[in-house]
A and B are shown apart, each in its own frame.
Chain A
Amino acid sequence: MDLQILLLLGQDGLTNGAIYALLALALVLVFAVTRVIFIPQGEFVAYGALTLAALQAGKVPATIWLAVALGAVVFVIDAAIALRARAWRRLPGLAALTLGVPLAVAALIHGLDAATLALPLQILLALAVVAPLGPLIYRLAFQPLASAPVLVLLIVSVATHMTLMGLGLVFFGAEGFRTPAFSDGSLELGPATLQYQSLWIVGVSLVLIVALYLFFGRTLTGKALRATAMNRTGARLMGISTTLAGKLSFFVAALMGAFSGVLVSPVTTLYYDSGFLIGLKGFVGAIIGGLISYPVAALGAVLVGLLESFSSFYASSFKEVIVFTLIIPVLLWRSLTTRHVEEEE
């Protein structure tokens, strides 16, 4: 292996690692706040990328109809609850969020000729389609089970993943898509050739990580989420709505998932089911951080990216085997360093 290849593989690994890190952070966030192990994260990656591809092809992405439909279901359920409680005042806000937002985005897509828009606007539109799916799915699948054991939530999570993946096939078909790079070309830096898209990915990931850090450290909402993560009952006693915290964390996770998809689709062809493996690699990173630590999770994810890129060079057909087997030594180390038997809630 010469320096050239080393740099190339390193770049590749870091680029993928940055994506995995974003996903790992979202997973840790969702787990901390809701105790849901967020397997469907990968579907948001695929939905984000494929929605963008559909917009660029001048088609109406079917994901928007999913958002409209889920919004309508949530509206019917929550309106019924509000009516029973005679809380008329809740209705307008509810209608605006569950019916208004998805319909407004649908109207925008119909009104604008999305294919001719500038790339940043297309991306914004794609995110506006996919991100609302997060809280809607939380409301329907997870909120009724908010106090269930982690194991039940995990099974629901897997079931949600299956449903969304199946729907992805219905929406986008079996063929894969690639979207154009944010900016073409590459930067020569001594012996290294840096692709602009890789720089975008790493740069944007870093910006997002810092933004998240500021959000959790400096804003009241962020602090409320952290409080919920630490102690649900305590947070509720302080007037923090754990339901709202759950929806918010799902929103952030969906947004980050979709954005990761948008970032990665110029480098890899994405299919309706590619998100799952990408999401799981984020997971391996998150597990390295014990599903608790944000920085360790991010570093773990970068490690996964590097391992993946180097193993694809040395033993390309065993790439996935190697990446997912990494979890074994990690778990072994965790198991040996865990002192006593943990008590389940």
Chain B
Amino acid sequence: MRRHLPVALFVALLASGPLWLPEFGVTLLNYIGLYAMVALGLVLLTGVGGMTSFGQAAFVGLGAYTTAYLTTAHELSPWLTLVIGWIITGGFALLLGAITLRLSGHFLPLGTLAWGISLYFLFGNLDDLGGHTGLTGIPPLSLGSLELKSGESLYFLIWLIVLAFVLVTRNLLDSRTGRAIRALKGGVVMAESMGVNTTRVKMVVFLIAALMAATSGWLYAHLQRFVNPTPFALNMGIEYLFMAVVGGVAHVWGAIVGAGLITVLKQWLQDLLPQLLGSDGNFEIIVFGLLMIFMLQRARDGIWPLVLKLFHGLGAAPRARVLPEAEPLERRPARKAGEVLLDARQVTRRFGGLVANKDMSLSVAAGEILALIGPNGAGKSTFFNQISGVDTPTSGEISFLGERVDGAESRRIARAGMSRTFQHVRLLPTMTVRENVALGAHLRGHGGYLAAALRLERNEEARLLREAQRALERVGLADYADQPAGSLALGQQRILEIARALCADPCLLLLDEPAAGLRYLEKQALAELLKSLKGEGLGILLVEHDMDFVMGLADRVVVMEFGEKIAEGLPAEIQTNPAVIEAYLGGVE
């Protein structure tokens, strides 16, 4: 209960605001609320999703102009124009997203920069939209017979929507889809290997941010009762980003703090600077710019985390989460021992003139541990990438469960039942250990964005978290479930990746150097785990350097050197194979 106290206090203060605030204060809070909606979208987009946009002001403008035009020229109901505004904004966001989100990260902000400028000039030059003078005579919002004419009456609506957005965003982030959004920051390769359709997730996040901005614009138009292009220009788009970054771009409440701070600061600077400098102009941008540079250099996480620290980790300390009871998730039908799972034939991968893999063939059966060994640079990880769909072979065939998968997207392969770990650990360090593991079960859940936002998928979520907990118990990390993953030792992080892979209920497990960085006892525990998984009918393909570990564990061993297979056989045969000894120890000159 104590946890909810600050929020309750904040809501109570807000609700009673008009009673004790001067009119000017209410007006200011109205604007802060409108800006906070936009900044909140940016928190989701930039802080959580790792993308950014300078064009949010243009989305605000679309929302505002849609309602302004339709309610004045066509006398439509404002509630209808809100929906139309969403549709139009959504359409533009999808278009922009479709062309930029597949490109590397800086093309989205550049695209939004250009779009922000275009739309501003478009608003200013369309006669139907009133040109640079804008549109006047926008009707007030009304609820039944109640007209929301004054700023004070809109105050409650604005802040109700802000709080609703905050709640919905928090719900969304604490769910299966939320984990997928947060996984974007861990890199596309990892997220896709867990079955996340990253392009789609990025698109949805961009869309949500745009719709929040459009809602703000709609409210703005009915608060001001007139619109012109100025508040939707690029510099406002940049200011929204400033708000999010200053407040704390990874925190939902940071959006409100940032919007409040920048708005008040701007008000103050606009009074102060012209007096100091003796002329009028947007001098506050100098201070904002400097503040921004300073924040990004010294406190990139923004103000909100500092506030949290000040109040001694309100809600920040990792607390053990009590998981509700839940049924186990459905499992894949088990494979019969000996059934061939993976069959790679003549796989070749060239990078220009370099042949990283040449005619590599191997197969893995259910209930078998196959070790792939070889000196550094032999091409083992490249081969792993061919199998798991991260890379496409130049030639050759790979089939998994009888289906061709060479060149297939890694999330399709993941769905078919292949799950992997990475040589260089790819975790989300700020997410808890359990949430990281639950990401592995992404494809075993179905809850969508809306269900998550409205908490309609709690039953499934409980099952997913239970599954994650079971995977953690299995690998022996259950005690750390509520710690941030980044706080684990490297060896434990590797084990965590195994738990994440197991959480997908795979039939084939690809492990890239799982024992590196483990202590002797931990290695023994890992070997025990892998043996018991094998006993359950899993196939395991393992790249490893630790010979004691490999030879004691593997059923068969494949040795690679210079991208080619030089030997294959039982561990005992491999240990006496002259070609292998030469590869590892060097031949006699």
Contacts and interface: CB of A to CB of B under 8 A. Distances in A.
A160 B293 contact: yes
Contact of A166 (B46, B113, B286): B286
A174 B104 CA distance: 38
Interface band, chain A: 35 or more
Contacts of B109: 37, 151, 154
B105 A344 contact: yes
B52 interface: yes
Contact of A173 (B46, B54, B279): B279
B115 A324 contact: yes
A344 B104 contact: yes
Contacts of B300: 148, 152
A335 B114 contact: no
Contact of B118 (A140, A141, A173, A320): A320
Given A159-B292, A321-B125, A284 B114 contact: yes
A155 B296 contact: yes
Interface in B77-102: 98-100, 102
Contact of B113 (A280, A318, A328): A280
B288 A159 contact: yes
B103 interface: yes
Given A141-B293, A165-B285, A335 B125 contact: no
B581 interface: no
B188 A144 contact: no
A297 to B, nearest CB: 14
A159 B286 CA distance: 9
Contacts, number: 145
B160 interface: no
Contacts of B281: 166, 169-170, 174
A69 interface: no
Interface in A31-58: 37
A330 to B, nearest CB: 9
Nearest to A163: B289
Contact of B105 (A151, A166, A325): A151
A163 B188 CA distance: 34
A158 B238 contact: yes
Contact of A162 (B99, B111, B114, B286): B286
A145 B199 contact: no
Given A161-B289, A162-B289, A342 B103 contact: yes
A284 B115 CA distance: 12
Interface in B275-300: 277, 279, 281-286, 288-290, 292-293, 296-297, 300
Contact of A155 (B117, B198, B292): B292
Interface SS majority for chain A: helix
A152 B279 contact: no
Nearest to A342: B104
A124 interface: no
B114 A155 contact: no
B260 interface: no
Interface residues of B, number: 53
Contacts of A155: 52, 241, 245, 292, 296
Contacts of B100: 331, 335
Contacts of B561: none
A166 B110 contact: no
A89 to B, nearest CB: 28
A145 B289 contact: no
A320 B284 CA distance: 26
A35 B104 CA distance: 13
Contacts of A335: 98-100, 102-103
A152 B296 contact: yes
B226 interface: no
Contact of A170 (B188, B235, B286, B289): B286
B145 to A, nearest CB: 42
Interface string B104-132: 11110111011101100110010000000
A29 to B, nearest CB: 16
Which 10 residue pairs of A and B lie closest in terms of their CB atoms, listed nearest first? A163-B289, A166-B286, A159-B292, A162-B289, A324-B114, A166-B285, A317-B125, A324-B118, A327-B114, A162-B285
Given A166-B284, A331-B99, 10 more contacts: A149-B105, A151-B105, A156-B293, A159-B296, A163-B293, A280-B114, A325-B118, A327-B111, A331-B111, A344-B104
13 contacts: A151-B106, A151-B109, A160-B293, A166-B281, A166-B283, A170-B277, A170-B281, A317-B125, A324-B117, A324-B121, A328-B99, A335-B103, A341-B189
Interface of B: 46, 50-52, 54, 98-100, 102-107, 109-111, 113-115, 117-118, 121-122, 125, 187-189, 192, 198-199, 235, 238, 241-242, 245, 277, 279, 281-286, 288-290, 292-293, 296-297, 300, 392
Interface of A: 37, 140-141, 144-145, 148-152, 154-156, 158-167, 169-170, 173-174, 277, 280, 283-284, 287, 291, 317-318, 320-321, 324-325, 327-328, 331-332, 334-335, 338, 340-344
